[in-house]
Amino acid sequence: MLDTEATAQRLLDQAGIELNGSRPWDIQVHDQRLWARVLRDRELGLGESYQDGWWDAQHVDQFLERLIITDVRSAVRLAPAVIVLAAKAATTNRQSRRRAGDNASFHYDIGNDLYERMLDRRMIYSCGYWRDADDLDAAQEAKLDLICRKLHLQPGMRLLDIGCGWGGLAAHASQRYGVEVVGITPAAEQVRVATERTAGLSVEIKQADYREVIGTFDRITSVGMMEHVGPRNLRRFFSVCADRLAPDGLMLHHTIGSNETKSRTDPWFDKYIFPGGVVPSLEQIARASLGEWAVEDVHNFGPDYDRTLMTWLANIESRWDELPTYDERFRRTWRYYLCASAASFRVRNLQLWQIVFSRARQHSPVYHAAR
């Protein structure tokens, strides 16, 4: 125990974190088994020990921010859980058509009551665009309109919204731009709410995988969807989009982005938040789109996700007493998820890209990107 504690103390010192200190990022340790667990299981051990109440910090995001900047994980040996996850990623397709539905249900069907209290009034579960916004509702409306303007939507067009969530973008595009929208999601609760919220509009919501879509569309978009496709399926994803998009069409993908090319994700996030999800790199996206697509625009506003996530955290913490069906362990799980994500965007470990594509080998009008 002394050796593991001494090693952990050295790593904390390097990160400028004081054991049982009073600063917002200092760690308060409640169970001395923490050290051995983290040194054994790395990211998984740190997250699970927080879930179990073994440690706290006034601001968990600031604590994790310092660990990322110092790259503490590289100083700890590879965890068994990471090795197992790597083996799964190398030998199985964790985002096959069958598994994709289960993965989506795991996260998105946990309860609309939670998301209603965390998100904006449209229930947009992706990064807001804060350039000219003062609150979450305005930031999300700005993001939706940014997507529509980048796609150059015109009345009468058909838009395919892959991973339509609770229908916010579909409703916005139909109401403001006069387009016909088909939105798809594998999550049953999202289908139910999105159908209710888009009633009376030129919107059709379907419970479907992207590989099941039929028809031709003038525009295609996905928002927060590519992270769930998986590296093994990215080429197929772009191929499906090519089959569905009109020859002179445009396509926009809004996705979290990684600075590294990886085949797996953090084992804690894989186990508790987004099973099978992998954040793509620009290299992976470029390789998957080679030959078929011309990249018209790449827009990175990753720092906006830090503010979005911290607003979600403030929302959920201020209304937790309205959610009696979720226990304290779930609360700590959710808090850790939002704080860890915010910290990664804050230090530019994660990005947020909107990438606009047109078809290669086509006579298309010159594209002008909106901002």
* Contact of 187 with 109, CB cutoff 8 Å: yes
By percentage, how much of the chain surpasses pLDDT 90?
80
For position 297, which CATH number holds?
A: 3.40.50.150
98, 156, 164, 173, 190 from 198: Cα distances, Å: 27, 17, 11, 11, 12
Q: Are residues 37 and 7 in the same domain?
A: yes
Taking alpha carbons only, the member of 118, 142, 123, 107 closest to residue 301 is 142
Report whether pLDDT(272) > 50: yes
Instruction: Tell me if 91 is assigned to some domain.
Output: no
73 and 184 housed in the same domain: no
300 and 267, same domain (yes or no): yes
Please give the average per-residue pLDDT across 320-338, as a whole number. 96
Whether residue 66 sits in one domain with residue 160: no
- Tell me whether residue 334 is in a domain: yes
DSSP state of 213: -
Domain assignment present for residue 350? The answer is yes
Predicted pLDDT of residue 85: 54
86 is a domain residue:
no
Q: pLDDT grade, residue 87 (50/70/90)?
A: low
Residue range 294-303, pLDDT digits in tens: 999 999 999 9
pLDDT of 88 strictly over 70: no
Indicate if 105 and 35 belong to the same structural domain: no
64 in a structural domain: yes
- SS3 category, 300: strand
Strands annotated E in 224-339? 245-258, 293-300
Give strand ranges (E) for 136-244.
158-162, 180-185, 203-207, 217-223
Q: Average pLDDT of the chain?
A: 92
Q: What pLDDT is stored for residue 83 in this prediction? A: 60
Would you state the pLDDT for residue 2? 45
- The predicted-structure confidence for 346-370, as pLDDT tens digits, reads as follows 999 999 999 999 999 777 777 888 8
Query: In terms of pTM, does the model score above 0.85?
Result: yes
Mean local confidence (pLDDT), 165-172: 98
pLDDT at 77: 67
Continuous segment of H or E residues that includes residue 190: helix 188-197
pLDDT attached to residue 312: 98
Does residue 253 register a pLDDT over 90?
Answer: yes
The three-state DSSP-derived secondary structure of 104-143 is HHHHHCCCHHHHHHHCCCCCCCCCCCCCCCCCHHHHHHHH
Q: Which residues contact 15 (CB under 8 A, 6 or more apart)?
A: 66, 67, 69, 70, 72
From the list 112, 109, 41, the residue with the least C-alpha distance to 78 is: 41
pLDDT, average across residues 124-142: 98
Per-residue pLDDT averaged across 31-37, rounded?
93
pLDDT at residue 182, rounded to an integer: 98
Determine, yes or no, domain membership for 207. yes
Say if residue 47 is in the same domain as residue 125.
no
Which comes out higher in pLDDT, residue 264 or 260?
Answer: 260
Q: Are 270 and 263 in contact (CB under 8 A)?
A: no
Residues 177 and 293 in one domain: yes
Give the C-alpha separation, 166 to 181, whole Å: 14
- Residue 4: pLDDT over 90: no
Are residue 269 and residue 198 in the same domain, yes or no?
yes
Q: Cβ distance 303 to 346 under 8 Å?
A: yes
**36 and 130, same domain (yes or no):** no
Please calculate the CA angle 334-337-342 and round it to the nearest 5 degrees.
Answer: 130
Separation of alpha carbons 73 and 52, rounded Å: 21
**Which tens digits make up the pLDDT trace of 186-201?**
999 999 999 999 999 9
210: domain range?
99-359
Are 203 and 153 found together in one domain?
yes
pLDDT of residue 119: 98
Q: What percent of the chain has pLDDT over 70?
A: 94
Cα four-point dihedral sign 306, 309, 313, 319: positive
pLDDT band at 5 (very low <50, low <70, confident <90, very high): confident
Strand partners, 184: 162, 206
Whether residues 224 and 126 share a domain: the answer is yes
CB neighbours of 22 closer than 8 A, spacing ≥ 6? Answer: none
Model confidence at 322, pLDDT cuts 50, 70, 90, reads very high
Mean of pLDDT values over 92-101: 71
Alpha-carbon distance of 78 to 40, in angstroms, equals: 8
Is residue 199 packed enough to be buried (19+ CB in 10 Å), middle (13-18) or exposed (0-12)? exposed
- Is 89's pLDDT higher than 80? no
My answer on whether 271 and 149 are in the same domain is: yes
| Count: domains in the chain | 2
User: How high is the pLDDT of residue 1?
Assistant: 45
CA distance 78 to 75: 9
Measured CA distances, 2 to 5, 9, 36, 118 (Å): 5, 10, 10, 42
pLDDT category, 78, cuts 50, 70, 90? low
